Structure 1
Amino acid sequence: MISFEPTPEQDALRQRIESFVMEQIVPYEKDPRNTSHGPTEELRIELNALAREAGLFAPHVPQEWGGLGLDHVSMAIAFEVSGLSPLGPIAMHCAAPDEGNMNLLDKVATEAQKQRWLKPFAAGEFRSCFSMTEPWGAGADPSELKTKARYDGEDFVVSGVKWLITGAQGAGFTIIFCDVEAEGDKPGGPTMLISDMDADGINLTRQIETLDRSFTGGHWEVTFDHLRIPAENVLGEVGEGFRYVQVRLAPARLTHCMRWLGGAVRAQGIALDYARKREAFGKPIGRHGEIGAMLAENEMELQQSRLMIWWACALLDKGEHGRHESSMVKTAVSEALFRVADRCVQVLGGMGVTGDTVVEQIFRETRAFRIYDGPSEVHKWAISRRIMKG
């Protein structure tokens, strides 16, 4: 039986993180280093130091790599309160794409690869990026890979273009999802390769303007121009890329839900406070039926989202969770949280469309969340295919 009641230890962790984020991190939201393309590297490092000092750094990372080693339900609780500020996950080193890449390396990388990349990465010495999405190729359908890799002796040579690559600027390394061309008895197919970002052949060709602004390094178009990668940098096995994509994306969909649930909770709190204080037509606006109904709908959808996330995490901890559950949760939660943020903007009225509160940013971020890690429509299509099989 799945329990939806946090343990005393989980509740104590929640309170510690909430106090840390609200007291130490929220003041940085107006810092000039928190730019329209995300926090700068300088700001990230400063925030990481605060999380380390508070004993809250890398809650998801196994203890052998210096993290707190939380189970998935505990992660759901911790990530939600980290998300009370868009900068919270950055500070605690559990933001995308780094959190998903740490999980992938822990599950798939060789011991040598873990020592070279995962160990310093988990310690916050550098960031990462995940190069999968393409302008006219792989994205919601990763099978449409246009980025190719060919054999050249013991190396691979990679050519292609990726875009919307989060955190590319300033990243220490990237995981590249590409199609290896078979040669003789050498296998081919969708494959993940690891490369240092300062390697010859990697060019950041364009910084992309986007709705969201919470990711360090922003979003970039990246060109691979005959990038040479040695065979020891294959992540897993050649041709097994689709399997590893699910290792990374299924849990990452849930962690996105956890973080942005926290953002929506923050927006609801701001809207509630405003509705109690702002008066119109002789009483606080929250006492008017339409406004009160919106706030009540928000409260219900926040709790429904939380329960869905915990349900999926409990299954994951029991080894019973699959990609279909994560698709359902990601779709339902991303749509619900956007509705919550939208109502909060409406409750705030004119203030809701200004930068005077963080609600405007949370609204934009949750709108983008309905697309990244798979648009809702693609997940619904996948769910319908599964249930139509009977």
Structure 2
Amino acid sequence: MTTNHPEGHIADLCARMRSFIDNQVIPAEPVLAREDDDARKALDQLRTQAKELGLWALGHPADVGGGGVQFLDFVYLNEIIGRSEFGQLAVGSVSMQDTLMLRKHGTEEQRERWIPPLVAGEFLPSVGLTEPEVAGSDPTLITTRAELDGDTWVINGHKWFTTGVKDAGYCTVFARTEPEDVPRHSRISAIIVPTDTPGFEILRSIPTMGHDPSDHYEVRLSDVRVPAENLLGERGKGFAVAQDRLGPGRIFHGMRWLGQAQRAYELMCERANTRYVHGSLLAEKGEVHRYIAESAAQIHAARLMTLDAARAMDSGDDARIRIGLVKFWCARMLHDVVDRAIQVHGALGLTADTPLERMYRQARYARIYDGPDEVHRMSTARKLLRDPGAAPWL
């Protein structure tokens, strides 16, 4: 897209990142998608290259060993990183949300123990939030419990869609720590649980939409014991910790989804300009014109919306309404654009010969994880009804 391009030093970083993602990461996708030893070797090579090129961990704060790129500037970079689903892993940005969360809510000891290896890419973070027995869209229903036994938390519970936990050094487990007479949004706490703690058991990789194994895991916690000082943030303030992680994360998601959508759009245009059917190129068909125009409009609108939310957050303004709009609008935009691109490719779009079938899976996930579209529309509408003048365009 040509609107609102970054300027100055960040423009150079964006150009270098685009070259790395398009010329190094994307060609490696067929190997990376295999998730075997060859995939791990290929990813290690990409990480080494990213570090040599000065593209590693750019958005992590400089005071914890990262590149120190400002929030809004990194949003531009994240759009480019998102052109490949493996981009985050290749350039060390996948742990940014957790670094920022630990930096804000962690104790000095927690920050010193966990942030440096996260920034270095020595392991991944993971979050134990959703549970199969209750609706993940309503975290007040969490049933996992943590009770103090002297100076030790004893945790029992069942989590799933604990993404990346197999390669994680720790899991931030959200558990009920307060009694029923406490307001429901003040009952949950966040506790750091090292993944090698006895009783922390990875049950399985959850098959999802033909992806087996996936990087989403089911976990059982059985009398897991960790020190009381592993509490992250204040007791009963788990929702505040979670929102400080999810808020910027939803903007990062939005920009990565834009990168995916832009790539799908490019593939759709290329296919339309080269595929001959029923007497003419697809590019000469009226229905394909509609696909192209609507996709361009959705991408453009989503990009402006996401950049507006990022600017509001960067300036310290209340960005909650903007972030809610971004989450459900960009998720639907990605789904629509990839769906049209598959349609233009026909049967080819259903195969692994293009990245579209993997993109489509990610697009469908996007409408559920970090809060389903329906919840974001509901909560955003409620805020707007309370204060119609808070609409971003006013």
Counterpart of 2:239 in structure 1 is: 242
Counterpart of 1:48 in structure 2 is: 47
Counterpart of 1:19 in structure 2 is: 19
Deviation at 1:318, TM superposition (A): 0.4
| TM-score with structure 1 setting the length | 0.92
1:127 and 1:170 in contact (8 A); partners too: yes
Structure 2: gaps of 5 or more residues: 181-185, 388-394
Counterpart of 2:145 in structure 1 is: 148
1:170 and 1:217 in contact (8 A); partners too: no
Q: Aligned AA for 2:17?
A: I
**Aligned mate of 1:386, from 375, 383, 387:** 383
Deviation at 1:365, TM superposition (A): 0.7
Counterpart of 1:344 in structure 2 is: 341
Deviation string 1:223-250 (CA, Å, 9 cap, x unpaired) is 0000001011111111111111111111
Q: Name the structure where strand makes up a greater proportion of residues.
A: 1
**Aligned mate of 2:273, from 261, 267, 276:** 276
Deviation string 1:118-152 (CA, Å, 9 cap, x unpaired) is 11111111111111011123621111110000110
Deviation at 1:5, TM superposition (A): 4.5
User: Is residue 165 of structure 1 aligned with residue 162 of structure 2?
Assistant: yes
Listed as ranges, the matches of 1:1-390 within 5 Å are: 4-31=4-31, 33-35=32-34, 41-95=40-94, 98-137=95-134, 139-181=136-178, 189-211=187-209, 218-390=215-387
1:154 and 1:230 in contact (8 A); partners too: yes
Counterpart of 2:392 in structure 1 is: none
Structure 1: gaps of 5 or more residues: none
Residue 161 of structure 2 aligns to a residue whose secondary structure is strand
Deviation string 1:193-228 (CA, Å, 9 cap, x unpaired) is 1011011010011210113869x9701110000000
With over 3 angstroms needed to count, the CA separation of the structure-2 counterparts of 1:74 and 1:243, relative to structure 1, is same
Deviation at 1:40, TM superposition (A): 5.6
When structure 1 is superposed on structure 2, of 19-28 and 68-77 the one drifting more is 68-77
Residue 169 of structure 2 aligns to a residue whose secondary structure is strand
1:58 and 1:92 in contact (8 A); partners too: yes
When structure 1 is superposed on structure 2, of 342-351 and 317-326 the one drifting more is 317-326
| TM-score with structure 2 setting the length | 0.91
Q: Aligned AA for 1:204?
A: I
The CA distance in 1 between the partners of 2:41 and 2:190, in whole Å, is 30
Deviation at 1:266, TM superposition (A): 0.8
Q: Aligned AA for 1:18?
A: R
Deviation at 1:24, TM superposition (A): 0.8
> RCO (CA 8 Å, sep 6+): is it higher in 1 or 2?
1
Q: Aligned AA for 2:73?
A: S
Deviation at 1:66, TM superposition (A): 2.1
Deviation at 1:341, TM superposition (A): 0.7
Residue 257 of structure 2 aligns to a residue whose secondary structure is helix
Deviation at 1:175, TM superposition (A): 0.6
Deviation string 1:13-69 (CA, Å, 9 cap, x unpaired) is 2211110011111121111x5237999655443332121112111121001222222
1:37 and 1:219 in contact (8 A); partners too: no
The CA distance in 1 between the partners of 2:300 and 2:282, in whole Å, is 23
Deviation at 1:72, TM superposition (A): 2.4
